[in-house]
Amino acid sequence: MQSRIWYSVCLCAQKYRVCMEGRGKEMEYEDLQKSAGVRYHDITYGMEAPGWVDGVYHPRKAMVKPGRSFLEEENGLLKIHSRVWQEIEETGFGIYYYEETTQMSGKLSGSNYLIKAVLVNPGEESYACHVRVNGIVKEEAVTVGPGEEKEINATLCLTDGNFTLTFAVGALPEIHGQAVEGDVYIRSLEMAEMPSLQKRQVPRIFLVSDSTVQSYEKRFYPQTGWGQMLRQFFRGSEEYREYPAEHSTYSLARVYELPGIVIENRSIGGRSAKSFYDEGKLDQVLEILCPGDYMFVQFAHNDATAIRPNRYIPAEEFPFYIQRYIDACRRRGAQIVLVTPVTMRVPEEDGSNRLCFAEYREQLLKMGEEQGIPVLDLGKRSNDYVNQIGPEESKRLYMWLEEGEYPEGAYAAGVSDKAHLQEYGARVYADMVAQMIAEYGRDGRLDELKKLVCPIPIEEIEKPEKRIDGTGRARVCEEDAVTGFVVQEISVDSGRGSFLLNWNPVEKAVSYHVYAKRQEDLTFEAVRTVTKEQKESLAVLPFNAEAGILWQYYVTAVFANGSEGHASMLAEVDLRMKE
């Protein structure tokens, strides 16, 4: 029988019990620190955020000191004081919560633990609180009424063996303009090691990445992630079943079940190695990751985007975040496979295609070499292929569509997108992944998968025919009008909505005006001017607006004399949704 370990906090006596298979002994706090590594640290923030420096946003830096200044005993309960506030940097994309309180931390030897806490309220008014485990919000809004006792449960998923735990006041969705300060009362706290998962009869591949890999809803066709197509290059793909992932909080997580392999695509647009972890999406995988499973990890597209502070990771810090994924897989007996980021379509002046995210790719290759981890160099192979077929032919791979080609979907207006993939491109790159699995010979780590893949020559993948609308031709627009105007990656958080806007460049335009209004308003207002250089340097442009509203947007091209061209088609941004 597996050892069942838990830490039970006897708050009034300030003693703790470590129990193993029913054999327990009481230990004083100091003894527990030595045996179980439980520690207390006071977290404060004295300095204001440095803000934007050389194009990178720097939030406040936490001051962490050993101590328990925010803790005290009160009538047999542990009272935890905290002060919590939110700060949003000027573009609206960097959202930070600062929590001054005492943090519990320690080191454990297992994989997943169940945390059970009993909260009480000895006061006469309700209080709200939230719970973080390893910095991840596990409970964002718990309300405890006067005289009420409430039990909450959360899962701790270890990566390197260390854990942190904080209880702080405030329901996070309601913390906006001012700081919240108050107390949380805990009667008891237990941490129990969860039973180890067993190896599956049919192995499972978890795909952990961004929008270049994710599965898409039909209304976004032909936009497709290579993870959506990967099952086509495994044996038995004609017998596959597709269904939503059960242990996931977001609907885009899809499962492709084949007779010999199950592919679970957990990839989701707009995430980096950092934000995928911070949002708890990695934890949702770790809770069901079994020995013998595989985790394919491809990041960099969003990690390299400094204009999105909550996602951005400088290349030199990239290994720190990737190591979490490596450690988590090793701890659970699963095999991690690093995948260098699929290239973007970025033609250079000499006609060659730029190898994108080169510094991040080098970090992944180095980590694979030093730690003996399989690395599939999709970045180089995809870029070599784009160079081979040339810039015009490569438009078939990426979301490069004329207006009217897909009149019924999200891209009826057309699009010129150098990052995201059409179905054909997703098939080509999924085939490359299968080819690299079949070719892998450094060691035997992928031998089981090598028996299951069935890549085909890329030239045998059927190319899409050029589509036109029902009139027999693409709709003709005014030459000075903006075309291909689309909205992507809409999300809502803390009263603000964020989204991406994209449109086709207009010849001779020196800048673009973006106009917006609420659906019920009569007039549009210019909300942003985008320079020609900004449009050329970014695949898509980030925007934000007040949540709870249906917004309408359009764009005009601005020429050297200051005149504006015809307006684009309208695009609606529905921020009445919740993520």
- Return the bridge partners of 525, or none: 516
- CB contact set of 14 (below 8 Å; sequence gap of 6+): 28, 29, 73
Distance CA 302, CA 335 (A): 24
| Per-residue pLDDT at 463 | 87
* pLDDT of 470 above 60: no
In the three-class reduction of DSSP (H, G, I as helix; E, B as strand; rest coil), residue 252 is classed as coil
pLDDT at 505: 92
> What does pTM read for this prediction?
0.82
Which pLDDT tens digit goes with each residue over 344-357?
Answer: 999 998 889 999 99
- Which residues in the chain are classed under CATH 2.60.120? 5-193
pLDDT at res. 251: 78
Strands 51-53 and 71-74: unpaired
CA angle at 185 for the pair 179 and 190, rounded to the nearest 5°: 120
The lowest-confidence range among 48-57, 226-235, 549-558 is 549-558
Span 302-322, average pLDDT: 96
Both tokens assigned to 524? 């549009």
User: How confident is the model over 544-570, as a mean pLDDT?
Assistant: 87
d(CA 80, CA 85): 16
Q: How far is CA 313 from the centre of its chain?
A: 13
Residue bearing tokens 């010129």:
416
Q: How far apart are CA 355 and CA 368, in angstroms?
A: 19
With both helix axes pointing from N to C terminus, report the angle between 318-332 and 358-371 in degrees, rounded to the nearest 10. Answer: 40
Looking at residues 141-153, what average pLDDT do you find? 97
CATH class of 5-193: mainly beta
Instruction: Determine the Cα–Cα distance for residues 420 and 223; give it in Å rounded to an integer.
Output: 7
Across the range 553-557, mean pLDDT stands at 89
Q: At what angle do helices 423-439 and 378-389 cross, to 10 degrees?
A: 130
**Average of per-residue pLDDT across 251-278:** 95
- CA-wise closest residue to 344 among 382, 377, 315, 307: 382
Strand order of the sheet with strand 550-558?
Answer: 525-531, 511-518, 550-558, 571-574
Using pLDDT thresholds of 50, 70 and 90, give the confidence band for residue 16: very low
Token digits of residue 126 = 């309700």
Classified as helix, coil or strand, 367 is: helix
- pLDDT value at residue 224: 95
Confidence band, pLDDT 50/70/90 cuts, at residue 562: confident
The residues with which 193 forms a beta bridge, in sequence order, are 113
Domain limits, CATH 2.60.40.10, in the chain: 486-574
pLDDT exceeds 80 at position 497: yes
Fold that domain 204-460 belongs to in CATH: Rossmann fold (3.40.50)
As given in the structure block, the two tokens for residue 198 are 């067993």
Please, what is the average pLDDT of the chain?
A: 89
Give the DSSP H or E segment for 56: strand 56-58
CATH number of 486-574: 2.60.40.10
Residue range(s) of every CATH 3.40.50.1110 domain in the chain: 204-460
